[in-house]
Amino acid sequence: MAEKITAYRFDCLEQTLSQLNKEDCAIIAGGTDVMVLHKSRRGVPPKILKSVVFIDHLSELKQVNQNQKDLHIGACCTYSELLEHALIPVALKNAIKSIAAPAIRNRGTLGGNICNASPAGDTLPLLYVYNAKLRLRSVNGERIVAINDFIQGPRRVQRDPNEIVTEIILPSVLEEDAHVVFEKVGNRNADAIAKVGFAGYIRINDARIEDVRFAFGAVGPTMVRSLNIEKKLVGKTLPLADSDIAEIVADFDKIIRPIDDQRSTAVYRKIVALNLLRYFLSLKQYQTK
Ligand SMILES: Cc1cc2nc3c(=O)[nH]c(=O)nc-3n(C[C@H](O)[C@H](O)[C@H](O)COP(=O)(O)OP(=O)(O)OC[C@H]3O[C@@H](n4cnc5c(N)ncnc54)[C@H](O)[C@@H]3O)c2cc1C
């Protein structure tokens, strides 16, 4: 027989934070990761050892706002809601369309994808290249933390038990002039966990690279990004010389260290990740802008 647990569903964020300050609870947003993580056998309800607190309905966590060029996305916006929203960048919508099937997209949230901190989380490569920041709130106040500092390893994040991630901030994302792509390689175009994920971001002025960023998913314990490698390309003129592309690919070859698992092999992942990088660096689409 299923064991009873205490579940809270408060009307507002303040009450929720107050409860989290009194009791260490399992936070449930859409529940699409939590329920899988705690499942036991078919027909048996998931076993969660703490009280649970639901946050998916809290209106404070479901807003999408523009603040000058920055985009603020409520942590509990579902994927389906974000797909419908005019302010969400096309690259992020493309990543969302590759996630699961519509039923999961109706429940799953952006905040949940971040806090679950899976190396294969599909929104993460993009959030890294957008230099995303997270706003966390507790009864003690709020703090803002960069996504790469927040995610510390598979399912490990820098969150105190009394904190909730309230929003994701994408700085300057509403500037028009960056070219951003997301690529996912899986068994199918959607409804499959990534074997490799890739996001590339490039801003060009008069054929010179002003800013460039890359992040790889599912090829290490967290997203692979290197500011030092990116810096090597800033100021270079497009199209890039073959030797420049080869150097960047060789640099990433050294730091991408995938593993074998049930979804793919380390060898395949490495080859695909480097091919995606090569493809991005030689993309004609943005070189003619
Ligand atoms: C069938 C299926 C297919 C899937 N396919 C994909 C896929 O293709 N790509 C992919 O990336 N993922 C996939 N997922 C995983 C999942 O749907 C996503 O990671 C989703 O974004 C999780 O969001 P959620 O709101 O359901 O998180 P939840 O399950 O509610 O929470 C996940 C974790 O984050 C914590 N948490 C959630 N929100 C907050 C918050 N605001 N503040 C603090 N902590 C919080 C929870 O306590 C928990 O530890 C799939 C899952 C299923 C079941």
What is the pLDDT, as a whole number, of residue 175?
83
Task: Check whether residue 149 and residue 200 sit in a common domain.
Answer: no
Task: Evaluate: CB of 20 within 6 angstroms of ligand 1.
Answer: no
Token couple for 177:
């002039």
Last residue of a domain, one of 139, 170, 201: 170
Residues 163 and 253 in one domain: no
Query: What's the pLDDT score for residue 64?
Result: 98
The confidence score (pLDDT) of residue 3 equals 74
Q: Spell out, as residue ranges, where the chain has pLDDT lower than 50.
A: 288-289
How many Cβ atoms sit within 10 Å of the Cβ of residue 278? 15
Q: Which amino acid is present at 230?
A: E
DSSP helix/strand/coil, 217: strand
Residue 46's pLDDT is: 82
Q: Answer for the pair 63, 15: CB distance below 8 angstroms, yes or no.
A: no
What range does the domain containing 187 cover?
Answer: 178-287
Q: What is the pLDDT of residues 110-123, one digit of tens each?
A: 999 999 999 999 99
Q: Is 109 in the pocket of ligand 1 (CB under 6 A)?
A: yes
Query: Is the domain of 136 the same as that of 184?
Result: no
C-alpha torsion sign, points 192, 198, 203, 204: negative
Question: Measured in angstroms, how far is the CA atom of residue 238 from the centroid of ligand 1?
Answer: 39
Q: What percent of the chain has pLDDT above 70?
A: 97
Query: Both 165 and 182 in a single domain?
Result: no
| pLDDT at residue number 1 | 60
Q: Hey, which of 33, 50, 165 would you mutate to test ligand 1's pocket, going by the most ligand atoms within 8 Å of its Cβ?
A: 33
Ligand 1: distance of its center to the CA of 225 in Å? 22
pLDDT for 289: 43
Q: What is the pLDDT of residues 217-265, one digit of tens each?
A: 999 999 999 999 999 999 999 999 999 999 999 999 999 999 999 999 9
Same domain membership, residue 214 and residue 109? no
Closest CA to 267 of 255, 254, 280, 258: 258
pLDDT at 284: 60
* pLDDT score of 189: 76
| Residue 31 in contact with ligand 1 by CB distance below 6 A | yes
